[in-house]
Amino acid sequence: MLHKAVLVRLYPSKEQQILLAQTFSCARWWWNYALNKSIETYKETGKGLSRAALNAFLPTLKKAEDTAWLADCYSQVLQATTLNITTASFFELNSKGY
């Protein structure tokens, strides 16, 4: 299988830069929060949380007063972050680390 890469330079406007920064911040915060929840659950039960279990936290967090800013982010971004964290093999003993 042949893989090709394409390098593209983006020139976002100031408004787009702000939106991208907010989106990246939401994704980064959700990654850290979901990872922490998974680690806590793993320590208590010996199993991590599934993608569905992690995504179930999102509506509550979006409605909470201190994390209401998550509602400004596209839900697909947060769900994709959940997918990435659940496929990262944190809790797999046979993980090779890459």
Q: pLDDT at residue 95 above 70?
A: no
DSSP state of 25: H
pLDDT per residue as tens digits for the range 30-40: 999 999 999 99
Band of residue 81 on the pLDDT scale cut at 50, 70, 90:
very high
Which pLDDT band holds residue 94 (cuts at 50, 70, 90)? low
Structure tokens at 69: 């800013």
Which residues neighbour 29 within 8 Å (Cβ) at sequence distance 6 or greater? 70
Copy the structure tokens of residue 54: 């992690």
Percent of the chain with pLDDT over 90: 82
Reduce the DSSP state of residue 33 to 3 states and report it. Answer: helix
Size of the chain, expressed as the number of residues it contains: 98
pLDDT at 1: 86
How far is 86 from 78, CA to CA, in rounded Å?
12
pLDDT at position 56: 96
